[in-house]
Amino acid sequence: MDGHRRTFVSGTTWAGGRRRPRVRTYAAVFFVAVSLLATSGCRGRRVIEPVRIANERVAAMTIAVAPALNQSGSSDFDPNTFADLMASELGYAEGIEVIPVNRVLAVLDAQGAAGVASPTHALELTRLLGADAILVFAVTEYDPYDPPTISISSQLYGDRAGARRERLDPVALSRQAQLARSPAEPSVRGLIAQTQRIFDASHESVAQDVRAFAKERGADDSPYGWRKFVVSQQHYIRFCCHETILTLLGPPRKAVAVGTTPGKADKR
């Protein structure tokens, strides 16, 4: 052994008896492993398409959202927060620009009014706000306990000539027990569309709509799954607002015949 102190590094043997250090080999293996983990993590995430609400009933327009009218007798929700969620969902509608609730509240406060008092008042607000239309709605029933029940009656008022108004069809309306949408009535000035629906989560038809909505919003990431939008008060309100906007602006919905008894929702 010569006089030089030698430090041996464990490694593979090259031709000629020399050993190849494993330091670089370990670094390369580590880099590959990290890359594979990052790639597998990306693949494991489901890509969620942007949520859009088809607008087949009115032309592109600017819509203001009025604060919710509480006609439910319940104090378990804030009407202004409810209206904010309605405005948020309206923002997903194609071709629609939204004037937020706080601007409507500011005008109402200047008038000394608590809410929209009449169709004429609604049209006056659209003029003052520089909007084409205003969404006025009332919460007529509210029970937040699982399974929750919320009933919403809404009207869209405006003078926009581009609104594609439809004639009232009494026969079609008579067949819609749970989903009543009557387009503009000639006797109500400025009424573009209206809808009224009871969202009872114990009914299977509503539960199916919740499942479809939950799938769009990536509810699979929650331990509750699709029921995230039933057990959470705010999430269920958002679902109801979404369905209200979809009914007002979207394609015709399938009617529920009078006398039909909806099934109970799956609790799993």
| Residue 21 predicted with pLDDT over 80 | no
pLDDT reading at 195 higher than 90? yes
Predicted local confidence at residue 54, as pLDDT: 80
Each residue of 46-75: pLDDT tens digit?
444 456 788 877 889 999 999 999 999 999
Phi, psi of 228 (to 5 degrees): -55, -35
Q: What is the arithmetic mean of pLDDT over 193-210?
A: 92
Dist CA 69 CA 71 (whole Å): 6
CB 90 within 8 A of CB 98: yes
- Per the CB < 8 A criterion, the answer to whether 247 and 197 are in contact is yes
Cis omega (within 30 of 0) for bond into 147: yes
Residue 4 exposed, middle or buried by CB count within 10 Å (0-12, 13-18, 19+) = exposed
Percent of the chain with pLDDT over 90: 46
Q: How many Cβ atoms sit within 10 Å of the Cβ of residue 230?
A: 23
What average pLDDT is seen over the chain?
A: 74
Helices (DSSP H) in the chain: which residue ranges? 23-44, 79-90, 101-111, 119-129, 170-174, 204-216, 228-231, 233-249
Q: How many helices (H) and strands (E) does the chain have?
A: 8, 9
* 175-195 residues labelled b (16+ CB within 10 A) or e (exposed): ebebbbbbbbeeeeebbbbbb
Dihedral pair phi/psi, residue 37, rounded to 5°: -65, -40
Q: Which of 179, 197, 201, 198 is nearest to 265 (CA)?
A: 201
- Cα angle 199, 201, 205 (rounded to 5 degrees) comes to 80
Contacts with 208 (C-beta within 8 Å, 6 or more apart), sequence order: none
- Domains belonging to the chain, first-starting first, are 61-249 (3.40.50.10610)
Q: How does residue 223 score in pLDDT terms, banded at 50, 70 and 90? A: low
Residue tagged 């319940």 (tokens): 74
pLDDT at 172: 41
Yes or no: say if 72 and 139 are a contact pair by the CB < 8 Å rule: yes
Question: How far is the CA of 260 from the CAs of 16, 173, 177, 198, 255, in angstroms?
Answer: 88, 15, 8, 14, 11
